[in-house]
Amino acid sequence: MVVSVGAVASPSQGVSYYERDGYYAKDDPEHRSLSAWTGKGAAELGLDGAVDPDVFRAVLEGEVPDGSGKRLGRMDKSGNRLHRPGRDLTFSAPKSVSLMALVGGDKRVLKAHDRAVAHSLAWVEGHVVQTRLRDKASGKMVRAGNQKMVAATFRHDTSRNLDPQLHTHAVLANMVQGQDGKWRTMANEALYRKQKLIGMVYRSELARSLARIGYGIEKSHADGRFEIAGVARSVVEAFSTRRAEIEAAVQARGTEATAANPRLAERAALMTRAHKRDVDKAALRESWREQAAGLGFDARAQVAEAIARGKDRSSPAERQGDVAQRLAAASRDTAVPVNATERAKNPAFEAVQWAVHHLAERDAVFRRTDLLAAALAWRPGAVSIQAAEKAVSELTTTGTLHAAPALESGDGMTTDKALADERETIVRMREGQGRGRRVMRGWMVSARLHRGPLTEGQREAVKLILGTKDRVVGVQGYAGTGKTAMLRRVRALASKSGHRMMGLAPSASAARTLAAEAGIETETLQRFLARNAGVAQGRLTKKGEREMRGAFARTVLVVDEGSLASTVQARDLLRIAGVLRIPRVVLVGDSKQLDAVDAGKPFEQLQQAGMKTARMDQIMRQRDPELKAAVEASLAGDIASAFAKLGANVAEVKPDNMAGAVAARWLKLSDVERERTGVMAPSHELRQAINGHIRERLAREGRIHGASYVGERLVSRGYTNAEKALSGNYAPGDTVAFHRPYKRIGVGKGDERQVVGVDHKRREVLLGGGDGETVRWKPGEIAGRRGGSEVYKAEAIELRTGDRIRWTRNDKALGLVNSRTAEVVEVKGDRVSFRLEDGRRLSLGAGDPQLRHLDHAWASTVHAFQGRTVDNVIAAMEAKHPHLTTQKSFYVEISRARDRAELVTDDATALQEQLEAVTGERISALVGIGAMSRDAPVGVAERTRELGKAAAMDLRL
C-alpha cells in the first residue's frame, strides 16, 4: 500500500504521531525537525515550520487558531461538542527506496521522498479537498472544492517490526477555508474515491526525482509499483517482515487486498498491529547494515554509484526543493502538442492513450480518476500528473475521449470507438427488423404449442423466435424461468420446418451443458467469432460468401447467456449474421445477472434500442416459497424484504473467520447433502481460503489421504491486452502461454515459456527456451497487444487421493473442458490419476502441461457459478467490498438454489446497506454521454455512415 487513508480517532491519537515513532522518543529535537505544517489554510493561520503539539491538538479539536475563538463541530442533545479530528494519509516509500535512504545513508533520497509528499499534498489540496455547502438554488447540501487545507506531516522511518520503512503521516485536519474566508469542516468522500490516484501521484513524482539523482527505476507490479534497480527481490523481502504479517492475515481471512479493494489490507494491518518500541537509533541502523551485509547487499556502494550518475542532473528548482517551482516547471515541460505527430512523440500522450486502451477493454465508461492513475502507472516516473491531465484534456477536445457525466461518480469518460461500436451494433440490429423470413407461421406455432406444458413467458419466447420477421430478437429470462426448456421446444419445432439450431455459449462448459440439455449443437461464442473473423472484417470473397450463405440459409443461431457478451463480440456477431444473411439470431440471457468481463452490455442495450424481446419472468426453480420470495425481492431491488425472507439463513461471523465459517457450514452436512450443496465466494482469494479449510478437515476425516503430489498451478494474472504489451508487467517466474505460432521468437500454438528476466532498458522479456537458450521477446510488438498470449503466475498446489479439482483450461486432445471437475483417485510417484465427470479415468505425469491448469474445487466464484443450479447454496459476501458486493452478485448467489440459500457475511447490517446502495450495473457509452436512456427504448435515426475499415455506423440518438 503506497498511500493509505484512515480516520484520526481522537486529537490525542493525532498528537501521538508527533510524540512517538519507533526509536524517536518524545521531544527528541531530531524528531521535531521531521514534522511540518503544510497547506494554504495552514499558511493563512500563520502555521509554519515544525509542528507544536499543543497547537496541533487544538486544531484537531476543531479550534481555529486565528484568535477568533471559532470552533468547528456540532452540539449533541447533551450539549457536548462533536467534531471528527481529521484524516491520516500515509505515504509509504518502496522498500528499496527505504534501504537506499536508511541503510545506504543517501540523504538525497530522503529529500526526494519529502518533495514527492509535498507535491502530492499540493495536488490533493487543489483537486481533492472539499467541503459541504448548501446550494442556494436547490437548497441541498453539495460538495465544493477549491478549499484551503490545514495539514501536518510527520516523517517516520521504521515499520512496527522495526524494519527500515520510510513513510510520512500527513494528518489533514477537519478544517478548511473557502474562498469566502469562512472555516468549515472537510468532506472526506473524495479522499477515499481518489486514494489510488493520490498514491500514483506520489509514486510517479518519487520515481521522477530518484531518476534525476542517479537511480534506475524498475517497475515491479502492473499497478505502477516500482523498486530501485539493483536491489534484489530477496533483499526487499528480507526487510519486509511487517508486509509479510499483513499478507498472512489477509490470506488467512481469504480476501483480496489489492488496488481494487485497498481497505482490506488496511484492516489486516490494524488486526496485526503491535505497539512501536523505543530503541537506540544508532544501534538499530547498525543492525540493519549487518543484516544487509549478511545478504550480500552493499547499500553504500549502490548509493555511491547513484551519486556519480546523478551529478548535475537536477534543475535549480529541484535542488531547492520548492514545490511551487516544481509545479511551475512541470507545467512548462508539458505544453500541449499542437498536432498528432507531436502528440505521438509526447510521453504523456502515449501514457494516456495506453491507459485508454487498458480501461476501455473492460469498461465502456470509466472514471477520469482511474484514467489518470493508469497513465501514471504506465511507466513509473515517465510522466507527471500535470502532463497526464493536460493530455486527457487535449484528447477530449479532439474527440478521442468524451465526457460521460451519467456515471455515478460524475467524472465518467468514454471513447469515440466505444460510441461507434455501440451505434453500429444497434444499427445492424435495426437493419434486420422486418427483413427476415419466418421460421414458422404464427398460427402453426400457436397450434403446436398446445402440446406440452409451457409458461406464458416460454410460449411468447417460442412464438417470437419462430414467428417473427426480425433477424435479431431477444429473450430476457430471469434465473430459473426455464430458458433451456424453451430452447428445447424451439429446436424441435424448427427442425420440423427444415431449420437447424446452432448454439453459441460463453464457455466450453456452458456449450456442453446447452448441447446436453437442449439438444442444440453448440460451440463457444469466442471460437465462432475467431473462425469467422474474416467475414466480420470484410475479407470474404464473393465465392466464399455464396458458399457460406448457403450453409447458414436455414439456421437459427442462439446465443446463450447473452448478458455475458461484450459490445465488440455483439458487433462482430451481427456483422457476420448480416453478411451471411442468417435468418435468425436469438440473444438469450438475463440482464439482472453479472455482465461480461469485457466492455459493454449489448444484450440490455439492444433491448433499450427496440429489439423485439420476449420476457420470461415466471420463476420455477425455487421450491421453497420463502427463498423464491427472496429472489423476487432481489430482482426488484428490495434488499430489506429479501433479507427478511432469508431470515436466519443470513449468518454474521467475525471478519477474520469468513472462510472458516463458510467451510464449517458445508462440512457439517452429510455426504448426500454435501453433493447437493454449492459453495460460492465473490473473489478467488476467498474461494481458495474456503477450499483450504475444507481440505484440512477432509484430511483429518481421512477423506483425503495417501501420497502427496506437490507441484505448481498456473493462475492467470488477468491482464488486459494493453497490460500484456508492457514488458515491465512481467516478472521472473511468470509463464507465458501463446495462442498462436510466432516464428520470430520460435514458439508454436499452445507453447508455454517461463520468464527468466526482464530487460527494462530495451523493454524486452527474456523467455526460457526448450533448448535452454534465452529468447528476447518484445510483447508490445509480438502477441502481447493483440491478445495472442496469456500471462500466468505460479502457485504451489498439493494433490492427494480424494481431492476434488477443477480444470482451468480446455484440452481438446484429452477431452477436458475448462471449469469441469474431477476427483483424484491415485497419486503414485510423479503421476496423478483422475476420475472425470463422465466416468473416464485419466493419468497425467509431472511434465504434462495440463497438470498445471487445475485448482481445488469445493468452492467456486460467483461468476463461475452463474448458469448452474443446485439444491442448496452456501455463499460468502463481504459487507463492504467496493466492487464485488452488489445487487447483481447477491441475486446470482441466492438464485442458484432450489431449496435453501445461506448467506455468510462479516456485517449483516452493513451488507444490507451496501446492497441497497450498489446495484452493480455498468452503463453503456451512449448512456454515459446522455444519448440513450438507462430505462426506456429511444428512437434511433436512420442516417448511418461508414466509419473506416471497420464499417462502424454512426447514429444520431
CATH classification at residue 754: 2.30.30
Residues 366 and 461 in one domain: no
- What are the beta bridge partners of residue 184? 176
Question: What is the model's pLDDT at position 446?
Answer: 83
Q: Side chain identity at 617, as an amino acid letter?
A: D
Length of the chain: 957
Q: Running DSSP on this structure, what letter comes out for residue 747?
A: B
Q: What CATH number is associated with residue 449?
A: 3.40.50.300
**CA dist., res. 192 & res. 199, Å (int):** 11
Strand, coil or helix: 771: coil
Which residues of the chain are modeled with pLDDT < 70?
A: 1, 14, 17-32, 242-279, 312-344, 451, 770, 934-957
Phi-psi region of 613 (alpha: psi -120 to 50; beta: other; left: phi over 0): beta
Q: How far apart are CA 718 and CA 715, in angstroms?
A: 9
Residue 317 in grid coordinates: 528548482
Q: In whole angstroms, give the CA distance from residue 465 to residue 647.
A: 40
Q: Say if CB 204 and CB 379 are below 8 A apart.
A: no
Q: What is the residue whose three cell numbers read 460521460?
A: 404
- Name residues whose C-beta falls within 8 Å of residue 179's C-beta, 6 or more positions apart in sequence: 146
How many Cβ atoms are within 10 Å of 621's Cβ, its own excluded? Answer: 18
Q: What is the dihedral of CA 262, 351, 926, 403, to 10 degrees?
A: 90
Q: How far apart are CA 276 and CA 160, in angstroms?
A: 5
Residue labelled with grid coordinates 487486498 = 257
If asked whether residues 293 and 379 sit together in one domain, one would say: no
**Distance between CA atoms of 706 and 694, rounded to whole angstroms?**
17
Q: Give me the helix-helix angle, 416-431 and 567-580, nearest 10°.
A: 40
Please tell me the total count of domains within the chain: 4
Q: For strand 752-759 and strand 735-738, is the pairing parallel, antiparallel, or unpaired?
A: antiparallel
Same domain, 368 and 434: no
Cβ neighbours for 136, distance < 8 A, ≥ 6 positions apart:
none
Vertex 476: Cα angle to 474 and 479 (nearest 5): 145
Which pLDDT score is estimated for 735?
96
| 484 occurs within a structural domain | yes
Question: Last residue of a domain, which of 277, 310, 343?
Answer: 310
3-state helix, strand and coil shares in percent for the chain, rounded to the nearest 5: 40, 20, 35
| Torsion of Cα atoms, 754 then 756 then 758 then 763, to 10° | -50
Q: Of 386, 91, 382, which is closest to residue 224 (Cα–Cα)? A: 382
**End position of a domain, from candidates 599, 621, 643:** 621
Residue 151 included in any domain: yes
Query: Are 305 and 231 a contacting pair, CB within 8 Å?
Result: no
Judgement on whether residues 368 and 292 belong to the same structural domain of the protein: no
Q: What is the DSSP string of 325-341?
A: HHHHHHHHHTPPPSSHH
* Structure letter (DSSP) for residue 520: -
13 in the Ramachandran plot: left (φ > 0), alpha (ψ -120 to 50) or beta?
alpha
Cα 102 from Cα 312, distance rounded (Å): 23
Residue 569 in domain: yes
Whether residue 545 contacts residue 399, with contact meaning beta carbons closer than 8 Å, is answered with no
**Distance separating alpha carbons of residues 631 and 645, to the nearest angstrom:** 9
Q: At 365, phi and psi to the nearest 5?
A: -125, 130
Q: What angle do CA 553, 558, 559 make, to 5 degrees?
A: 135
In a domain, 273, yes or no: yes
- Tell me how far apart the alpha carbons of residues 885 and 256 are, in angstroms, rounded to a whole number: 13
53 and 172, same domain (yes or no): yes
Q: Do 367 and 454 share a domain, yes or no?
A: no
**Residue 799 belongs to a domain:** no
Helix, strand, or coil (residue 942) = coil
Residue 880 · residue 263 · CB < 8 Å: yes
Among 260, 268, 285, CA closest to 196: 260
Cα distance from N-terminal residue to C-terminal residue, the chain: 44
Q: What is the pTM of this model?
A: 0.89
Q: Which amino acid belongs to residue 909? A: T
The cell for 657 is 473467520
Same structural domain for residues 397 and 428? Answer: no
Task: Tell me whether residue 568 is in a domain.
Answer: yes
Residues 123 and 223 grouped into a single domain: yes
Mark whether 214 and 277 lie in a shared domain.
yes
- Residue at grid coordinates 479539536: 61
Distance, CA of 660 to CA of 679 (rounded, Å): 12
- 11-19 vs 53-60: helix crossing angle, rounded to 10: 150
Residue 532 sits in the same domain as residue 451: yes
Residue 681 counted as domain residue = no
> SS3 of 399, please?
coil
Indicate the residue among 792, 824, 843 that finishes a domain: 792
Q: 547: Cβ–Cβ under 8 A, 6 or more apart, which residues?
A: none
Instruction: Please say whether the dihedral angle defined by the alpha carbons of residues 568, 574, 578 and 579, taken in this order, is positive or negative.
Output: positive
Q: Quick check: 486 and 475 in contact, CB under 8 A? A: yes
Cell of 435: 427483413
Residue 252 is part of which domain span? 3-72+83-310
Tell me the Cα Rg of the chain.
30
pLDDT at residue 649, as a whole number: 95
Which residues, 6+ apart, have CB-to-CB distance to 297 below 8 Å?
Answer: 99, 231, 232, 235
Helix-then-strand count for the chain, H and E: 39, 39
* Confidence at residue 270, expressed as pLDDT on a 0 to 100 scale: 43
Please indicate, yes or no, whether residues 352 and 473 belong to a single structural domain of this protein. Answer: no
Distances (CA, A) of 39 to 111, 176, 180, 241, 834: 19, 10, 17, 34, 64
pLDDT tens profile 866-922: 889 999 999 999 988 888 999 999 999 999 999 999 999 999 999 999 999 999 999
Whether 294 contacts 722, CB under 8 Å: no
pLDDT at 251: 53
Cell numbers for 134: 448548501
Report yes or no on 293 lying in a domain.
yes
Separation of CA 50 from chain center = 41
Asked whether residue 438 falls in the same domain as residue 584, the answer is yes
How far from 203 is each of 106, 126, 272, 797, 918, CA to CA, in Å? 19, 18, 26, 35, 31
Return all residues near 812 (Cβ < 8 A) that are at least 6 apart. none
Q: Tell me the C-alpha distance between 211 and 205, whole Å.
A: 10
> Residue 137 maps to which CATH number?
3.30.930.30
- CA distances 228 to 105, 117, 298, Å, are 15, 18, 14
